[in-house]
Every structure is written in structure tokens, then in C-alpha cells.
Amino acid sequence: MPDLLIELFSEEIPARMQGKARDDLKKLVTDGLVEAGLTYAGAHALSTPRRLVLAIEGLTGESRSQREERKGPSTAAPEQAVQGFLRATGLTMEQLEVRDDKKGQVYFAVIEKPGREAAEIVAEVLETTIRAFPWPKSMRWGAGSLRWVRPLHSILCLLTDENGAEVVPLTIDGIAAGNSTRGHRFLAPDSFAVSSFDDYAAKLKRAFVMLDPAERADQIWNDATNAAFAAGLEVVEDKGLLTEVAGLVEWPVVLMGKIDETFLGLPPEVLQTSMREHQKFFSCRNPKTGRIEGFITVANTETADHGATILKGNQKVLSARLSDAKFFWENDLRVARAGMDEWLDGLNAVTFHNKLGSQADRVGRIAALAREIAPLVGADAEDAAEAARIAKADLRSQMVGEFPELQGVMGRYYAQEYLKTTPPRSPNRGLDDAAGGPGSGPGRAPGSGPGRDVSAIADAARDHWRPKGESDSVPTEPVSVAVALADKIDTLTGFWAIDEKPTGSKDPFALRRAALGVIRLVLGNGVRLRLRGLFEVAGHRCFDAAYSKTMHFDVSESGKLTNPIEPKFDPASVRDLLAFFHDRLKVHLRDQGIRHDVIDASLFQTAAISSAHKRKTVSALNARLEALDVGAVSLPSSDKEMLYESKLRPDADDLTLLVKRAEALAAFLKTDDGENLLQGFKRANNILTQAEEKDGVEYSYGADPKFAEGAEERQLFAALDTAEAAIAPAMQAEDFAEAMTAMAALRAPIDAFFEAVQVNSDNEIVRRNRLNLLSRIRQICLSVADLTKLEG
Amino acid sequence: MTTTQPRSFQEIILRLQTYWAGKGCAVLQPYDMEVGAGTFHPATTLRALGSKPWAAAYVQPSRRPTDGRYGENPNRLQHYYQYQVLIKPSPPDLQALYLGSLAAIGIDASLHDIRFVEDDWESPTLGAWGLGWEVWCDGMEVSQFTYFQQVGGHDCHPVSGELTYGLERLAMYVLGIDHVMQMPFNDPQSPIPLTYGDIFRQTEQEYSRWNFDQADTDMLLKHFEDAEAECERILAAPAKDKAGRAIIMAHPAYDQCIKASHLFNLLDARGVISVTERQAYIGRVRALAKKCADAFVTTEAGGGVAA
């Protein structure tokens, strides 16, 4: 059982690509070997900046011979069919066998594949792998045509067993595989031969190459924490940076330095970001003060002066960088303290989208919307509007120009400075502040203090961007929530108004993330609001903006209004956007373990339908809608939205309520009573639906207990009365658990009824009365949730 | 390695010239036009195209009007020097050759930490891109190292290896200088020692003012359009001259493309180009670069005509 060692030695592979390259190399080679009939005991892939390595243990020495029989066309089949079979099997006419089959004589191909030596297979698989390697970006070099991530210099490909090592014969674009490699570029540049993986790894270590990226990362982290500890500091954890740095070095040497006093006044985020982004330094924090006071840099080499020159150089570069940052910070503070006018005016020059205007236009819309949302989330309307007005000012700051990822973080610092020095803009607020007394201003709750809530406003500048991704938490401070919602809803309605919706995998404006952000803000804070109304208000503002940007009078031509892209925000847009939200909500809740059909049951209603004719129309529409769900039919989108909308509960735009209902229903269905009641409901509904279709009438005229025949039937009447009386107020009070408990009480009477009673009685009056009784079951159950949507 | 330390800016340049001449490069002189980077020199942009082998090295004065800081910033200049090397096809030992050049100017790899950090290069105005690295010395970017994949919209066959050294920054590091204006330009022991500031502080002030405040934008815009029109006109001229000689005027046309590019940079510095317009201007320059590249590959130097 030989072991296989492959090393692809190249110029420096980008750190960010090494992880996937290891996985790809392992998968492509092992899949190829297995496909060709070899087996192996284990495989692991390793990498350094200059090499991609695969070690496979316990490979079979040769593949088994294979014999395959394939049945072909009849001997009477047309020539084309026979030729096709020959092509598919790679045989000639003479090699085919003719055998008797049930339907006459048929051609058979017998394909013999002899066993092959592992070396031959490895050479083939490795060449295919190298030529088709899925690098995110690859290149050519010199005069060759081979593509690799950077120039490929050598290939080591060795099969080793107890008899020794054998180079796998292989040449790709002039690079012949061999048994030798090189050590560290500067510390051990000479070539040397190896005989096995163990020999390879050991010799590399002597040649200053640590092959395993995990080992390098561990060493960096250990040395870094020790060095920091010795200086009374702690390293700020940063897994992404650790992986990256481990991918930049073959021989990690940790060096620690102190940050110059003059820079310690910078916000810690600025120090961290600057050091990380520009220098790939780890930050070291003083645990006593919380300040960032030192850094760790990882060199790729050992020097006679123990890194003194390297550290000095790095320190110098850092000082130059931090001087820039300090310059930006001081300039920015000056602008913030002077009222931010320079930035707020400057937002006019920042295009948000050429059809939706500038960031300043957008800020105006968001401020108005935030003011409207504020009371719904328990925020002060003036605070929310003020926060929205300044929340994006930092986009124009020098620091954010240099470090876009600090947007928001800087916004909060600058907002704090601004609020310290700038009086409130609202006239009401001005009186309050001027009086300096306890809060008595109009519209302000008693006890909420005189002026604005400075820290809430500043926090909103930072947090209105959030949640930034799925792993980011949701802000809870009401002013932040109001501005965050306004920001995202403006974005969504804006892009809906100019018809730039996400399609398929394309979502260039991250609208799915924006919708998920709204969903998480609403659910995470238990906010009760109606999206339709907000969509309308926000959508009309965006429409106005888009209209003024895109509609032009073309006087030179015909004098007619030309509209290259006609903006539109109408009831159909609201419906479509709501449907988009429901899709996102389903994805979100599915991740939380709530089934798709449970959400549908909470989202839709099957309305009582007053005529068989209408029922037929609706079922035809249903069929179309269902076809739409599976993408089989394409309808005009307005049609689709109408259908969708017609089936929604009116409160389906209240996400908190919707989820509350879905959660109660999911919990209910997990109980025995819930599961059984669902079966009882379905049985009642099926019998009723069939009868209604057969009779062409709808049984909804109210069943009369006087026609009830047995005890079970009378008990069902009584149980329905009780349930109805309990469910209606519970639903009114949004106590869904209570409503479902009341519904669950119907389980036993319904089961008993079906056990004892034949619905389709010969007595037509009794039959109709029973159908009307089933109809009451349906109505009562459907008032809680649309159980027809549930599977199983 | 026992190379002596250079003592001035010009000594670093001279050493690079000597080193690359010794490695077989034709040491060219700067191109006589205003360009944003050494890449714009036709010895790089045009010669990276086509199949003919090429090896050239040169200093290129470069101008980036928006980087002007009136001579006050220790690291930023609106006029600076790049050292540029282009070898086609890229030799297999280009990294080693490059490291040799660092040794030649006094960067001893046994004392410093030299790293190749991913940095892909793209020039939207030239319709060009390549893969490579920025080279770090002790955390400082000292060069750009690129394997050209495409120029002017044409795939590069064979591939050129391009090295670009930011001379001021590199020299400041080697000489241990913190402010560019304090860097010795000639030997500090010379009878008349001159610093970088002696030579360039005043011009940085003058050009910063002109670039940011004074350049006549209407005129610049008109010049841009003239250059664009002339470039297209030159390329649209018949393939044969009045004496019947087949002469494609790829270089004169490319000069106009360079002009347009620099005029765009000046307009940008004057702040008269909006974000949306910016892309449109870049697209116009790129269109010219592509046409020039199309023309060049039909010429003898471009490998389009059998020599």
C-alpha cells in the first residue's frame, strides 16, 4: 500500500485563497483516484505561501480490472442508432456481440478495462487537477499557456512504499515532476530531495518551513500572547487575521512593539483598523485601561539582530499611518464641533443612486420616516429625526474616507462631539433647553428629561447600520431601531420604485439583507407595526425623488415628456414588496425551525365563499397560484400580486403578530391534540368540499341542533358553541395559545362524531344539517389559522 | 551580502539603472509627456502587446494632481518618480532578479523581512489588468510586481512581468528619512548638497495651487476633447501615406490618449467631475487606449507584420 505525496511549488499564493485551494486539491485528486478505481486510507492537504501539498496514505497499488456489459440497439435498428452506440462505447462493429433478447437479436458491448498501475492513474489525475484547478483568479506567465494562481515552478509527486520511493512520471507545460523541493526563500533556498511525507516535513522544518497552517497559527498565537503578557498587555483576538497571517509566512517570527504615546488618544477602533488593514498587525490591549497600547507583527524570517531592524521598520510605517489617522481624526472633530455643516452639505455631492438622488436627499426621507416610526417603537420622534439627520454625516469624514469599514463607529464619536456643542434644531426643543428646567415641552412624556437624549442619538449614528449581517445582533435602543428601520425601508421602497429588485442570484444592492434587517429589527424588539402603511409613505417619497431624477422634458425633439425609466410606486408595488418580505420571513423562520407550511397557515386565510361559482373561479386561481409557486407558469406580475394579496390575512403585514401566531401553531401541532385535531379538521373539510362540489352549493347556513340524532352529534354542537365562545375573544386579545387550546377541545367531540355518525345520511335534511355542522368546524378552525395549508 | 549603503536619492536610481542594465534590459529615458504612472510609457503599455520579446527599464516622472499637498505632507507629492521594468516574456527567475535589485540598493534580505502580499493590478483607463503582489519590506510597500494578463483589451501573449518601484518612498526607507523634502538628492558630501526639497518644494507648492485652484477647466475640457478627436482621427487615417508607404500611426495616436488621461486627472483635481461623470470619462480614455492597442498590434513592433 503506497503513500502518495504531491507538492505544487509556486510563487506566493494569496493568503485568502489557500484554505479553499487545500480543500479543492484534496477533493479533486481523491475523487479522481477513486473514480479510476483506486482506494486510499486517508488524505490531508497542507499549504504555505509557496506550496500546496497533498499527502495520501494507504493508496492501492493498482486498480482492479473491470468488465462492463452494455445492452445496445436491436440488430434491426437504423444505422444511426448503431453508430451512436459505437460512439458511446468506443468499440468497432466487429467488437460488438449479438445476443438473443425477448424482442429479437440485440447488440451487446462488452468493455474490458484492464487494471492500471497507481502511478499511471496519479499522473493522469494530477494533470487534470492542475489544468482545471478552480482558483478564484488565475494567470498565465512567460510564454506558456498553463494557468495557475501565480507561476508554478515545480511539481513533486512521489509514491512511497516499503521498497522505496518512486517519482510519478508527469510533465505539464515543461514542468517535469520530481522528488525535490526548496526550503525558505531566504533562510534555506537550496533544493533537496525527499523520500516520503515524513522525510519531506522533517527536512522542510530544518529548512525553516512550517508546513501545517494550523501549526503556524498556533505558534503565532502562543508567541503573541506570551510576548504581550510579558509586557503587561493582552492580544485582541482576531481569528480572520490569524488565518491570513499564517498564510503569509512559512517561518513565523512574532515581534512586539509599543504604539507611540502621541497616538494613544485615537479611538481604539481606529488603531485596530489601521493596524489590521494596512499592516496586518494584531492589537494589544492594556487590560487595566482598556486602551490599545501595543502591536504584534509577524515576520517571515529570523535575523542576526533578532528582528530589531524589522521591528524598527514596521514601527516607522505604523507611525506614518497613525499620523495620517490622527490628522484625519483631528480635522474631523473640528468639523463635528462646528456643527457638521460641511459634511451635511457634502452629502448632496454623494450619489446614492442616480435614479434616487443623493445621500442628502435620502437623509431627508429617512429623517421624515424615522419621525413617523418613532412612536411605534417607543422612541422620541424628535430624537429619531435628529439622529437620522446626522447619522450619515460621517460618510463625508476623512476617517471614513480612509477606512470605509469604520462608518457608523466614527459616526457615533462625531455625533457625540456635535451634540455637545450644537443646540437642538427643533424649536420646541430649543425652548426646553433654553429654559433648562424639567421637561414640559409639548409631546414629551413626563420624566423623560428636558432636552434630547444625547447618548441615544449618538448611538443611533453607529447602530442604524445594523444588523449588518446574519451574525450581527439587532439594536434595541428605540431611537436606533427607528432610524435603522427607516433607513432600510427607504432603501427597499426606493429600489422597488425604480424597479431594481433582486433577481435570482443577483442582488447588487443587498436588498435581501435589508429586508431581513427589517424583519429582525421588528421581531427582535417585538415591534407592532403595519408594513403596508410604511411602504406607502416611504414609497411615495422615493417615487417623488425618482420622478424628479428621471423624467425630463425633451424640448429639442418633440416637446413631449420623455421618461427613460418611469418610476412607479403603486398598490401593486406595496403588494409585491410585502410578498418579498414574506419570502424572506420564511427563510428566516425556517432557520429557526418553523416550517414553511406553518407560516403559510398563519399568513393566509381561506375565506368563506358565498357561491359555488366563485369557488370555482377561486380554485382555478388557486391552481394558477400553486403553479406559480413551483415556477411552472409565468403570469403578469400584477396578476400574481393580486392573487397573493387576495389570500393574505389583512394583518399579514404585522410581522410580530404573524410570528406569534406561527409559533403558537407550531407548538400546538407538536401536541397530540393538535395533530389529531388537524386530522379531524381535514376529514371534515374533505367531506364538506366534496359534497359542496357535488351539490354545487355552499353549506354555510348554520346547522340546527334540533336535527341532531345521536349523543355524539349533540355533543359536537355543544362543543362548537363552547369553542366558538372561547376562540373569538382569545383571537381578539391575540392570545393564540388560548385560542388553540379552545380549538384542541374540539378534538374528542369531532373524533367521536366521525366514529358514531354517518354524514351522508339517506335523510336529506339530516345530511344537509350535518354538512352545515362540518362547515361550522371549518369556520371555527379557520378563524384561528388556515389549517388547509398544513401538510400531513 | 556586503553592499555599501547608498547615500542619496540619485545613487539609488543610478544603482537600479546599473543593476537592470547588467541584467540585459535596455535602459530607456523617461517618456516626454505628462503621465500618471510609469505604466503609461509606450515602452510598457504598447510593448507589452504582441509576441516580440522586450526588456526595458527606465525612470518615469509621474504626475498625480490630486496627490498634491503643497510640499507639506512627508509622503505625498503631485510629481514623483517611478522606476519601471518590463520584461517579455516574464523570465522564470523574475522574483529572484527583483530581490537582487533590492540587494543592489542596500536592502539586505538577511536583516529585513521581505514579503510578497497579494495585490492585483488593474488600470481602468488602459483597459489593463494583471496579477501579482505588492512587495513589503518590514511592513512597508516598496514595489508593485505584476504579470500582465491584458492590455488595451488584448490578452498578453506572451506575458510581460512588470516591476514598479515608488522611488521616493523606497529611497526614504533605505536612507532612513522621515520627510521626503529632507531627502538628500545628491551626495550630502557634495560641494553643493541638494535635498529633494531644494529641488521640488517650490514646484509642489506652485503645481498644487494650479492643480487645485487655478487650472482653467473650460480649457482643460476643450483640450480633452481635442485630444480625443485627434486620437480617433489619426487612427482613422488611411493605412498608406501619400507616397504609398504603409504606416500605421499607433504611437502618435497613443500620445493623444496619454494627453486625454492626464487632462482628465487635472479636471478631477479641480473637482469638476461628478461621481457619475467620472466613470464616463474613464470609459472614454479606455476606448482610446483600446483603439491604440488595436492599431499597435497590426504594426511591426506589435508583432502584427513579419519583420
pLDDT digits (tens, 9 = 90+) for A565-576: 567 788 888 888
Interface probe, candidates B51, B90, B118, chain A, greatest A C-beta count within 10 A: B118
- B-chain residues within 8 Å CB-CB of A149? 131
Distance from CA of A444 to the nearest CA of B (A): 43
Among residues A566, A571, A572, A568, which one has the least CA distance to residue A638? Answer: A572
Minimal Cβ distance to A141: which of B159, B178, B276: B159
Look at A309 and B111 and tell me if their CB atoms are within 8 Å.
Answer: yes
- A-chain residues within 8 Å CB-CB of B156? 140
Cβ of A174 under 8 Å from any chain B Cβ? no
DSSP assignment of A109-131, as one string? EEEEE---BHHHHHHHHHHHHHH
Residue A92: C-alpha distances to residues A98, A115, B292 (Å): 13, 22, 55
Q: How many CB atoms lie within 10 A of CB A583?
A: 12
Cβ of B149 under 8 Å from any chain A Cβ? yes
Cβ of A153 under 8 Å from any chain B Cβ? yes
Chain B residues 153-192 with a CB less than 8 Å from chain A = 156-159, 161, 173, 178
Q: Determine, yes or no, domain membership for A587.
A: no
What's the number of domains chain A is made of? 5
Minimal Cβ distance to A351: which of B75, B130, B276: B276
**How many interchain CB pairs under 8 A, A with B?**
105
DSSP character at residue B57: E
Could you tell me where in chain B the CATH 1.20.58.180 domains are found?
Answer: 216-296
**Residue A610 near residue A698 (C-beta atoms within 8 A):** yes
Q: Determine, yes or no, domain membership for A769.
A: yes
Confidence (pLDDT) at A412: 96
Cβ of B278 under 8 Å from any chain A Cβ? no
Q: Do residue A360 and residue A501 come from a single domain?
A: yes
pLDDT grade for A639, boundaries at 50, 70 and 90: low
Confidence (pLDDT) at A634: 47
Q: How many CB atoms lie within 10 A of CB A222?
A: 11
Minimal Cβ distance to B138: which of A137, A140, A314: A314
Above pLDDT 90, what percent of chain A?
Answer: 54
Q: What are the pLDDT digits (tens) for A271-304?
A: 999 999 889 999 999 999 989 999 999 999 999 9
Above pLDDT 70, what percent of chain A?
Answer: 90
Look at A248 and B115 and tell me if their CB atoms are within 8 Å.
Answer: yes
Look at B118 and A12 and tell me if their CB atoms are within 8 Å.
Answer: yes
Question: Who has greater pLDDT, B16 or A100?
Answer: B16
Q: Do residue A99 and residue A164 come from a single domain?
A: no
Distance from CA of A81 to the nearest CA of B (A): 44
Torsion of CA B34, B37, B41, B42, to 10 degrees: -120
Look at B116 and A12 and tell me if their CB atoms are within 8 Å.
Answer: yes
Q: Do residue A217 and residue A325 come from a single domain?
A: yes
Cβ of A146 under 8 Å from any chain B Cβ? no
pLDDT of A630 higher than 50? no
Question: Who has greater pLDDT, A77 or B14?
Answer: B14
Confidence (pLDDT) at A93: 85
Q: What are the pLDDT digits (tens) for B191-240?
A: 999 999 999 999 999 999 999 989 999 999 999 999 999 999 999 999 89
Q: Do residue A29 and residue A176 come from a single domain?
A: yes
DSSP character at residue A501: -
pLDDT of A189 higher than 80? yes
Q: Do residue A678 and residue A616 come from a single domain?
A: yes
**Residue A545 near residue A494 (C-beta atoms within 8 A):** yes
Q: What are the pLDDT digits (tens) for B76-94?
A: 899 999 999 999 999 999 9
β B54-63/B26-27 pair status: parallel
Q: Do residue A164 and residue A254 come from a single domain?
A: no
Confidence (pLDDT) at A612: 43
Q: Do residue A58 and residue A70 come from a single domain?
A: no
pLDDT of A702 higher than 80? no
Q: Do residue A345 and residue A365 come from a single domain?
A: yes
Distance from CA of A240 to the nearest CA of B (A): 16
Question: Who has greater pLDDT, A564 or A312?
Answer: A312
Look at A313 and B90 and tell me if their CB atoms are within 8 Å.
Answer: no
Minimal Cβ distance to A313: which of B95, B139, B147: B139
Q: Do residue A47 and residue A126 come from a single domain?
A: yes
Closest A-chain CA to B175:
A313
Cβ of B42 under 8 Å from any chain A Cβ? no
Indicate which CATH number applies to the domain containing A505: 1.10.3210
CATH no. for B9-209: 3.30.930.10
pLDDT of B270 higher than 90? no
Neighbouring-strand partners of residue A74: A106
Q: Determine, yes or no, domain membership for A579.
A: no
Interface probe, candidates A9, A10, A11, chain B, greatest B C-beta count within 10 A: A11
Above pLDDT 90, what percent of chain B?
Answer: 89
Among residues A668, A464, A496, A470, which one has the least CA distance to residue A588? Answer: A470
Q: Cell 526563500, residue? A: A185
Confidence (pLDDT) at A91: 85
Question: Who has greater pLDDT, A788 or A568?
Answer: A788
Helix (H) or strand (E) holding A74: strand A66-74
Distance from CA of A634 to the nearest CA of B (A): 36
Look at B130 and A139 and tell me if their CB atoms are within 8 Å.
Answer: yes
Confidence (pLDDT) at A426: 57
Average pLDDT, chain B: 94
**Counts for chain B of helices (H) and strands (E), in that order:** 8, 9
- A-chain residues within 8 Å CB-CB of B136? none
pLDDT of A60 higher than 70? yes
Cβ of A303 under 8 Å from any chain B Cβ? yes
Distance from CA of B159 to the nearest CA of A (A): 5
Least confident of A86-95, B122-131, B137-146: A86-95
Domain extent, residue A325, equals 213-278+286-331
Minimal Cβ distance to A309: which of B74, B112, B178: B112
Could you tell me where in chain B the CATH 3.30.930.10 domains are found?
Answer: 9-209
Closest A-chain CA to B89:
A142
Average pLDDT, chain A: 87
pLDDT of B142 higher than 90? yes
Cβ of B133 under 8 Å from any chain A Cβ? yes
Closest A-chain CA to B141:
A317
Look at A140 and B117 and tell me if their CB atoms are within 8 Å.
Answer: no
Which residues neighbour A179 within 8 Å (Cβ) at sequence distance 6 or greater?
Answer: A156, A158, A165, A167, A193, A194, A195
DSSP assignment of A667-721, as one string? HHHHSHHHHHHHHHHHHHHHHHHHHHHHHTS---S---GGG--SHHHHHHHHHHH
Q: What are the pLDDT digits (tens) for A101-128?
A: 887 888 988 888 888 999 999 999 999 9
Sheet holding A282-285, edge to edge: A234-235, A282-285, A292-299, A253-258
Q: Do residue A103 and residue A52 come from a single domain?
A: no
Cβ of A772 under 8 Å from any chain B Cβ? no
Question: Highest mean pLDDT: which of A143-147, A418-422, B278-282?
Answer: A143-147
- A-chain residues within 8 Å CB-CB of B142? none
Interface probe, candidates A9, A10, A12, A300, chain B, greatest B C-beta count within 10 A: A12
Q: How many CB atoms lie within 10 A of CB A651?
A: 15
Confidence (pLDDT) at B236: 96
Cβ of B50 under 8 Å from any chain A Cβ? no
Least confident of B164-178, B225-239, B268-282: B268-282
Distance from CA of B132 to the nearest CA of A (A): 7
Cβ of A140 under 8 Å from any chain B Cβ? yes
- Mean pLDDT value across residues A61-72: 85
Cβ of A186 under 8 Å from any chain B Cβ? yes
CATH no. for B216-296: 1.20.58.180
Cβ of B106 under 8 Å from any chain A Cβ? no
**Residue A522 near residue A529 (C-beta atoms within 8 A):** yes
Q: Do residue A384 and residue A523 come from a single domain?
A: yes
pLDDT of B9 higher than 60? yes
Cβ of A176 under 8 Å from any chain B Cβ? no
Q: What are the pLDDT digits (tens) for A393-417?
A: 998 999 998 888 899 999 999 999 9
Cβ of A137 under 8 Å from any chain B Cβ? yes
| The C-alpha cell that represents B214 in the structure block | 487655478
Q: Determine, yes or no, domain membership for A307.
A: yes
Distance from CA of A313 to the nearest CA of B (A): 5
Closest A-chain CA to B116:
A12
Cβ of B139 under 8 Å from any chain A Cβ? yes
Cβ of A318 under 8 Å from any chain B Cβ? yes
Helix, strand, or coil here: B154?
strand
Helix, strand, or coil here: A172?
strand
Question: Who has greater pLDDT, A554 or A674?
Answer: A674
Q: What are the pLDDT digits (tens) for B47-86?
A: 999 999 999 999 999 999 988 989 998 888 999 999 999 9
pLDDT of A434 higher than 50? no
Look at A11 and B95 and tell me if their CB atoms are within 8 Å.
Answer: yes
Distance from CA of A435 to the nearest CA of B (A): 45
Which conformational region is residue B102 in: left (phi greater than 0), alpha (psi within -120 to 50 degrees), or beta? alpha
d(CA A571, CA A232): 63
pLDDT grade for A560, boundaries at 50, 70 and 90: low
Question: Highest mean pLDDT: which of A100-104, A244-248, A744-748?
Answer: A244-248
Q: Do residue A154 and residue A293 come from a single domain?
A: no
